[in-house]
Amino acid sequence: MLKKILFAIYLLAIVATVHAADPAEKMVRDAMHSLLPMTTVDQVVKSDLPGFYEVVVSGQVVYVSADGKYLLQGNLYNVAQKKDLTAARVAVMREQAVQQLPDDKKMIFAPEHPKHTVTVFTDVDCPYCRQFHKKIAEYNQQGIAVKYVLFPLDIHPGADKKAAAVWCAKDRTATYTAAMNGLDPGNDTGCANPVAETKALALSIGIGGTPTILAEDGTQVDLGRASTPAALAAELDRLAAIAAKTAAMPIAAR
Amino acid sequence: MLMKWLLAAVLAGSTVSVWAVDDANKVVTDALRKLAPTSKIQSVTQAAVPGFYAVVADGHPVFVSTDGKYLIEGHVYDIAARRDLMDDGLTGVRKQALAKIPAEKRLTFAPQNPKYRVTVFTDVDCPYCKQFHQQIAEYNKFGIAVDYVLFPLVIHPGADKKAVTVWCSKDRNAAYTEAMNGQALASKTCDNPVSELSDIALAMGVNGTPAIFSVDGTQLGGYLPPQQLAQRLDELAAPAKATTAK
């Protein structure tokens, strides 16, 4: 029995070694390490782009050539499909991260039967976040459920305390609404709150500003296309249509 | 006989390379037609990264894979050299564009025997352009001749009129200096190259001011203080030396 287990471990070890010894992957990891010695590389997988690996680092997707010589940072497009592969990959990563954050760590403003759900990273001290929230009833009327994730920015000193105070208030959503109208949410920040966690989550998926609106599939909504509740609803319809089209495609064609 | 064969090979070789250029243009044109149908391609060259063409379209650099399947927008770093290769294509386009701006369409502030020459795209209403010009004597002292090209930004309403006023003044350099010192100039108009120069700037991918270029099309900076600009120019003039010194 023991022998069997040992043998299994031995096999596992071989598999692990073979995996780590993929020479290209090692080249890629070494290249990333030479560029960013302090940063952890989250993932290295073969990219659609021949000869390149896709690397996820600090919530960003970059591409490194298999020989470790070149790094592409920006957006990679599939020409025939007119598709931004980088944005699509980032969207998947963000969608998964947002899914994994339970609803009881978000603040939800939803209509009865929502047609769309968006996740909005928000900061009490961000003017556009306030502008957005002032129309929350209208967004709901448009059939849009809004799940807020608190993301106080470092450029707003004290915003983290306000976020915690909102969270610790008896009526969280009412206090949030009041804070977005300029009222002081108070100093009660002593409760167990997820602000540090949600902030770390935002940073880990490459979100650097507020408000950041993610559609259901993780696609970041262009704020220019979401200037009014009706515009956001139309944009979400458009994105959903694109997502449906992609889902209907055979995997090989995606 | 051998000579003949060699000649044939050379001819074949040249035909092949001509074809390759046609091929590159076709691949890139088709790819951009698909992704950005209204864009105008300015240059297609072989990229330093194998398997890619370096393309400039609408003053914007991109890489297109030689099979035309992929397009990259952003940065392409040579990891060992710590250098962004994406700018290479742009540098060629910029050099050509700069060469097309004649001396009489620039405002020149030069020392006696200049060691270097830079072109600076400038906007009368841009704070760092003002800061730059307030130190013009120092740049000149470092042996740097400065050729200004007027490029009023659309984000500064009225800056175009001020640029035209500078251009239409009897003593352009003096008017420019006054404007950069914050003096209000009485509005003037005349035939002027301001919109033509703006078009050139946009085609070069200049989208902010100040934008400083060396004669070979390399962008040296946005604003750089006199000593730093002189240093950059020294490095550029002797790149090999600068690398070994590191």
**HSE (side-chain half, CA atoms, 13 Å) at A96:** 8
Is the CA virtual torsion A11, A12, A17, A23 positive or negative? positive
- The answer, for B127 touching chain A at a CB cutoff of 8 Å, is no
Q: pLDDT tens digits, residue range A209-241? A: 999 999 999 999 999 888 899 999 999 999 999
CATH 3.40.30.10 is held by the domain B99-245: yes
User: Helices H, strands E: what count in chain A?
Assistant: 9, 9
In this complex, which of A35, A49, A51 lies closest to B79 when CB atoms are compared? A35
**B2-87 falls under which CATH superfamily?**
Disulphide bond isomerase, DsbC/G, N-terminal (3.10.450.70)
pLDDT band at A34 (very low <50, low <70, confident <90, very high): confident
Give the pLDDT score at A252.
42
**Fold category of A105-248 in CATH:** Glutaredoxin (3.40.30)
Give the pLDDT score at B73.
94
CA distance B154 to chain A (A): 19
Give the pLDDT score at A5.
47
Taking CB atoms and an 8 Å cut-off, how many pairs form between chains A and B?
A: 65
B152-174 as b/e, with b when 16 or more CB fall inside 10 Å? bbeeeeebbbbbbbbbbbeebee
- The answer, for B84 touching chain A at a CB cutoff of 8 Å, is no
* A51·B72 Cβ contact <8 A: no
CATH number of the domain located at residue range(s) A17-79 in this protein = 3.10.450.70
A183-202 as b/e, with b when 16 or more CB fall inside 10 Å? eebeeebeeebbbeebbebb
- The answer, for B68 touching chain A at a CB cutoff of 8 Å, is yes
Higher-pLDDT residue of A249 and A143 is A143
> Whole-angstrom Cα distance, residue B93 to residue B87?
10
Compute the mean pLDDT over every residue in chain A, rounded to the nearest whole number.
Answer: 87
Give the pLDDT score at A199.
95
- The answer, for A37 touching chain B at a CB cutoff of 8 Å, is no
Give the amino acid at B1. M
Give the pLDDT score at A26.
86
pLDDT band at A4 (very low <50, low <70, confident <90, very high): low
A133-142 long-range contacts (CB < 8 A, ≥24 apart) are A133/A176, A133/A177, A133/A180, A134/A180, A134/A181, A135/A228, A135/A229, A136/A109, A136/A177, A138/A229, A139/A109, A139/A229, A139/A232, A140/A109, A140/A110, A140/A111, A141/A111, A141/A229, A142/A115, A142/A229, A142/A230, A142/A232, A142/A233
CA distances from B238 to A75, B46, B235, B241, B245 (A): 34, 25, 5, 5, 11
Rounded to 5, what percent of chain A is helix, strand, coil? 45, 20, 35
In the predicted structure, residue A249 carries a pLDDT above the cut 80: no
With a pLDDT cut of 70, the percent of chain A lying above it is 88
Give the pLDDT score at A175.
95
**CA geometry: angle A207, A208, A213, nearest 5 deg:** 50
Residue B153 CA from chain centroid, whole number: 16
Q: Which residues of A touch B73 (CB under 8 A)?
A: 74-75, 77
pTM over 0.80: no
Helix (H) / strand (E) element for A185: namely none
Is the CA virtual torsion A141, A143, A149, A155 positive or negative? negative
In the predicted structure, residue A248 carries a pLDDT above the cut 70: no
- The average pLDDT across A87-94 equals 93
What strand order describes the sheet that includes A212-214?
A107-109, A144-150, A116-122, A212-214
- Of A92, B87, A71, the residue nearest A62 (C-alpha): A71
Give the pLDDT score at B4.
46
> Whole-angstrom Cα distance, residue A95 to residue A105?
16
Cis peptide preceding A102, ω within 30 of 0: no
Q: Which residues of A touch B28 (CB under 8 A)?
A: none
What are the beta bridge partners of residue A71? A64, B77
> Whole-angstrom Cα distance, residue B45 to residue B34?
20
Give the pLDDT score at B20.
64
- The answer, for A35 touching chain B at a CB cutoff of 8 Å, is yes
Query: Checking DSSP bridges between strand B83-84 and strand B70-78, what pairing results, if any?
Result: antiparallel
CA distance B91 to chain A (A): 19
- The answer, for B81 touching chain A at a CB cutoff of 8 Å, is no
Query: Checking DSSP bridges between strand B70-78 and strand B60-65, what pairing results, if any?
Result: antiparallel
- The answer, for B75 touching chain A at a CB cutoff of 8 Å, is yes
Query: For testing the chain A interface, which of B77, B82, B83, B88 should be mutated: the one with the most A CBs within 10 Å?
Result: B77
The ipTM, to two decimals, is 0.73
The answer to whether residues B65 and B51 touch, using CB atoms and an 8 Å cutoff, is: yes
Tokens of A205: 């998926």
Tokens of A135: 């129309």
Query: Which residues in chain B land under pLDDT 50?
Result: 1-18, 241-246
Give the pLDDT score at A20.
52
Tokens of A99: 């899914």
With a pLDDT cut of 90, the percent of chain A lying above it is 70
Domain ranges of chain B: 2-87, 99-245
Give the pLDDT score at B239.
62
- The answer, for B76 touching chain A at a CB cutoff of 8 Å, is yes
Domain ranges of chain A: 17-79, 105-248
